[in-house]
Amino acid sequence: MGSTTRAMEWLADAALDPVACSRQWRRHQPNVVLLPAGRRWDVVITPEHLGFALLRGISACRLRPGPVLLDACAKLTGFFVPPGTTACWLASGIRCAGAGAWIATPWPRPAPGRLQWLVLPDGTGALNDLTALEHLLHDATTRYLASTDAVKSGRVR
């Protein structure tokens, strides 16, 4: 079984009807399906600039990234994290989608379009490390705020 098939089955397993979801994707691969958050994963949603900073931080720390989505039109990134994260999420201004939320999810392969995988799911169930993500988010937000304060004060042009 190929990695795309494993990833598709892992994602479809989160659906209310995994068999129907898998069938739909097999017939219409480019399609996007709505999958419920909170079953197999939650999703931490960040502005695009913070999402790219987080990915750079994950890489710099030599951590293995879990799945990450980009909504190119809304300029948002979504980091797949363990289910239940919503219950303990404290970062203000950063949304976390959990039980009761639905995530538009594209076929798990690189493809252009509004929804794109920045990091494809690997089919093993590997998710982003929540503790590392929180620390990196704090660092990225602090750096971003410091740079915008410097621009506003005229120290940087």
Structural domain harbouring 137: 3-153
Helix (H, G, I), strand (E, B) or coil at 24: helix
Checking if the pLDDT of 1 tops 60, the result is: no
Which pLDDT tens digit goes with each residue over 34-68? Answer: 999 999 999 999 999 999 999 999 999 999 999 99
Contact (CB, 8 A) for 70 and 48: yes
The answer, yes or no, to whether residue 26 has pLDDT greater than 90, is no
Quick check: helix, strand or coil at residue 32?
Answer: strand
Say whether pTM exceeds 0.85. Answer: yes
In whole numbers, what is the pLDDT of the chain averaged over residues?
A: 88
User: What single-letter DSSP state applies at residue 61?
Assistant: T
Distance CA 153, CA 131 (A): 33
- What would the mean pLDDT of 107-118 be, rounded to a whole number? 88
Instruction: Convert the pLDDT of each residue in 78-93 to its tens digit.
Output: 999 999 988 887 777 7
Residue 11 has pLDDT above 80, yes or no: yes
Count of domains for the chain: 1
Tokens standing for residue 7: 């990833």
Whether the predicted pLDDT of 157 surpasses 70:
no
Does 12 have pLDDT greater than 60? yes
CA–CA distance, 140 with 145 (Å, rounded to integer): 9
Q: Residue 20's pLDDT is what? A: 92
